[in-house]
Every structure is written in C-alpha cells, then in structure tokens.
Homo-oligomer: A and B are copies of this chain.
Amino acid sequence: MPPTSRAERRRDIERRVVEVGRRHLASDGAAGLSLRAVTRELGMVSSAVYRYVAGRDELLTLLLVDAYGELADAVDEAVAAAADRPWDERVVVAGAAFRAWAVADPASYALLYGSPVPGYEAPAERTVEPGTRVTLTLLRLLAEGVEAGEVTPAGPAPVGDTRLLADLERLVAETGLPGGADVMGRALLLWATLVGGTSLEVFGQYGRDTLTAPGALLEHQLRLALAVLRAP
C-alpha cells in the first residue's frame, strides 16, 4: 500500500492547482493567469492539468468562489470583533475590512467587482450564494439600526419612480429587511458607495499621489452614507 492513496493524491493536487492559481492571479491578474504556467510550477506537463480542472474558466470560477469566501470571512470577522460597538460603527468596520481585503489582493477584488472577464460567465449556481454573503452581513447590520429606531423610515429623497419602488419592495421581501423600500434604496446607496469608493482606489482612479489616507476617505464616505440612513 503506497503512503498516499490515489484519491488522496488527487485531492492534494486539486488543492495545489488552486493554490498556485491564486498566487499567479495575485501577481499577474485574471487575464494573465496561464494554465500552462500553473501546470509548469506543479512539475507536470501542460496537458496533465486537464485531469484536475476542466479548463481555464473552471479555475477562474474556483478562484472566484474562493475569493468571495475570503472576503466575506474577513468582513464577518471584523464585524464580530467589534460586536460591542453600535450598528453604524460596525458598518464602518465592515466597509474598512472590505477595503483592506481589496487593497491587499487587488486582482482578486477585480475578479469579483471589476470588469467581468470577457467570454467567461460565472456559473450562477456556484457564485451567487458566496457573492451575497457580504451584502447579507451589511443588511443584517442595517436591520439592527432599523429595529433600534435609528434608521428613519423615510430618507431625504423620496423614491419617485414606480418601477423602482416595485424593485425595492421586491428586494425588501426577498431579503427580509425590516423597513420599507425607502430604507432599501438608502441601503443600496451604502452598497454603491462601498464598492465605488473601493474600486476607485484599488483601480487607481483617484490618481497616483493624490491621497495619503485612502482608508480614511472610504470610512468618511461610509459615514456620510450612514447619515442618509439616519436622516429624515
């Protein structure tokens, strides 16, 4: 009996493919991720990797799911570590963790919230659930704010469009957010602010040397968006 069974070896190699792939993704970006290069580093010939991964797209999907999970873990961990602080400060903590993860691994962040890789469609059944974990965490924090009476039922700008109202009400029903469509509209402001501010920084749109404290800027933007949730 060999020390490592066939099934064990297979699992081990599958794990290493993803691990090397993640390192290459971090250094070369999604478009530069080469299946051949990953295979070379594993000491195999180029065709052998197809025994473990259906193709480049599947490796990208694995890395995508991985990244969603890591990001959500980082956010949830930060929120849990601040459990004694009020809901709105925990939203800022969550956003700061979101940004910190993105800054630490820009290529993975780009895979999640940047331009979709052309010709590659993430399979919904494997990516939707891990992709919504962060938003669920944020919504849970907002729910605390609603139940504490600190989130106003109506914000400073009414939801005018009737179709938008229907969209928001459907989202409220789907997510179980306590509070109406107006609260959901302001929650989406928070979400857009978080993703927008992070993307602007990580993708270099603020300019090279214009900001010395980008983290503080994002927190400020989040506090402003939170003020809208507390304002009449």
Contact A160:B199 (CB < 8 A) given known A31-B31, A167-B210 = no
Instruction: Tell me which of B116, B118, B200, B213 contacts A204 (CB under 8 A).
Output: B116
- Known contacts A155-B227, A189-B221; is A30 also within 8 Å of B167 by CB? no
- A118 cross-chain contacts in B, Cβ below 8 A: 28-32, 107
B227–A119 CB distance below 8 A: no
Alpha-carbon distance between A205 and B117 when the two chains are bound, in angstroms: 13
CA separation between A155 and B161, bound complex, in Å?
Answer: 27
Copies of this protein chain in the complex: 2
Stretch touching chain B among A41-49, A78-86, A190-198: A190-198
What separation, in Å, do the CA atoms of A205 and B196 have in the docked complex? 12
Q: How far is the CA of A110 from the CA of B119 in the complex (A)?
A: 14
Q: A159-B220, A185-B220 known; A29 and B199 CB under 8 Å?
A: no
Residues of chain B lying within 8 A (CB to CB) of residue A161: 213, 216, 219-220
A157 within 8 Å of B (CB atoms) = yes
Inside 8 A of A111's CB, which chain B residues have their CB? 115
In A177-232, which residues have CB < 8 Å from any B CB? 185-186, 188-189, 191-197, 199-200, 203-205, 207-208, 210-213, 216-217, 219-221, 223-228, 231
Contact A227/B231 with A118-B30, A118-B31, A199-B113 known, Cβ cut-off 8 Å: yes
- Beta-carbon contact of B193 and A223 below 8 Å: no
CB of A157 within 8 A of CB of B113, answer: no
- Measured CB to CB, the residues of A under 8 A from B are 28-32, 107, 110-111, 113-119, 124, 128, 131, 155-157, 159-161, 163-164, 166-167, 170-171, 185-186, 188-189, 191-197, 199-200, 203-205, 207-208, 210-213, 216-217, 219-221, 223-228, 231
A and B contact pairs by CB, cutoff 8 A, 20 listed:
A28-B118, A29-B117, A31-B117, A110-B116, A111-B115, A113-B205, A115-B203, A116-B204, A155-B224, A156-B227, A156-B228, A157-B220, A157-B226, A161-B220, A163-B212, A164-B220, A167-B210, A185-B221, A195-B199, A224-B228
